[in-house]
Amino acid sequence: MSNSNAALISAPTRAILVVDDNDDVRDAMIAALQVAGYEAEGAENGVVALRRLLDEGLRPGLILLDLMMPEMDGLEFRERQLRYADLAQIPVVIISAFGRQTAVRALGVSDYLAKPIDFRRLLDVVAQYCAG
């Protein structure tokens, strides 16, 4: 196997969707993920994220989801995501400054990270779902 084939095998196959209403936080997460070799895209709230999933057919390998957002918060987004079988299969990691870990676990999320974000921990969690 050539080195180029090995690189293709170890690269993530699908983008990560970062859903956060704070432009700086969202952009920082996307930048950190891209520097680490991941493809990452953003959405500023649950409405935009759901539209991208349903109308545009986006199928990320992982969704990083803030809880507190205008228009549609993270909990409502997750409840709606679970209504669609193909979307329900996408793992979700909640990223929030609010201690609502128990509530989000009830929605079947894959993990929970507290803000401020520890980028090493973020990359460790992302690697669990998006490596090769």
Cβ distance 16 to 130 under 8 Å? Answer: yes
What confidence score (pLDDT) does residue 102 get? 62
What is the number of domains present in the chain? 1
- The model's pLDDT over 82-120, given as tens digits with 9 standing for 90+, comes to 999 999 999 999 988 776 666 666 677 888 888 889 999
Peptide bond into 91 cis (omega under 30): no
Distance CA 50, CA 77 (A): 7
**CATH number of the domain bearing residue 110:** 3.40.50.2300
Helix axes 23-35, 119-130, angle to 10 degrees: 60
Q: Of how many residues is the chain composed?
A: 132
What residues have CB less than 8 Å from 24, skipping those under 6 apart?
none
What confidence score (pLDDT) does residue 96 get? 84
Q: Which residue has the tokens 């990083």?
A: 64
Range of 35's domain? 3-130
Q: Tell how far CA 55 is from the center of its chain.
A: 18
Q: Going residue by residue through the chain, which has 132 residues, state the pLDDT in tens, using 9 for 90 and above.
A: 333 333 333 344 578 999 999 999 999 999 999 999 999 999 999 999 999 999 999 999 999 999 889 999 988 999 999 999 999 999 999 988 776 666 666 677 888 888 889 999 999 999 988 865
